[in-house]
Amino acid sequence: MMLTSLDRKILDLLQNEFPISVHPFHELADILGIDEAVLLQRIQHLKDTGVIRRIGGVMDTRSIGYYSVLCACEVEEERLDQVAAHISEEPGVTHNYQRNHRLNLWFTITAPSQREAEDTLRRLENDLGVIIHTMPAEKVYKIRLSLPMGEDDYAD
């Protein structure tokens, strides 16, 4: 997909400068020098085409006492979509993806405690007939990703 100059500017702002305010999109539109309706239309287009998956905060769940763990399981190819959909329905699952590996379905789950995460994982194992392997992080090396879009002059 070809991104317009405006799309690139919007993506940069959404990643790096999203305002915490009552009217964040109005503020972003002002920065871009466009009408808020135009901004919202472009964001909707980027969502519809899959460029934007979600807009929301990213928190360090450990710093507020939550538990998060990377998980993987082996799922028969013909059941992969069904199992992935079921796992994705869990409120604490942040992402879910297929890998070219014996453990072919991976996801991350976050819960208020390790016990609650383990209880959810045991329930999923029972519901789905799979074994879920957990891989707790020993050290976090990267917690922020921003993809520069190449245009940072917003005063056209």
Q: What is the mean pLDDT of each run of 10 residues along the chain (156 residues)?
A: 91 92 96 97 95 83 90 97 96 91 96 97 97 92 68 45
Give how many domains the chain has, as a whole number: 2
| pLDDT at residue 113 in the model | 96
| pLDDT at residue 153 in the model | 47
With the CA atoms of 5, 11, 12 and 18 taken in that order, what torsion angle do they form, in degrees rounded to the nearest 10? 140
Residues 21 and 82 in one domain: no
Q: Give the span between the Cα atoms of 104 and 98, in whole angstroms.
A: 5
| pLDDT at residue 106 in the model | 97
Closest to 51 measured CA to CA, from 12, 103, 91: 12
| pLDDT at residue 144 in the model | 61
Query: Model-level pTM?
Result: 0.69
| pLDDT at residue 154 in the model | 43
Strand pairing report for 93-98 and 105-111: antiparallel
Structural domain for 14, as ranges = 5-48
| pLDDT at residue 19 in the model | 92
User: 155 lies in a domain?
Assistant: no
Coil, strand or helix at 108:
strand
User: 117 lies in a domain?
Assistant: yes
Residues 41 and 65 in one domain: no
Residues 37 and 70 in one domain: no
Residues 89 and 40 in one domain: no
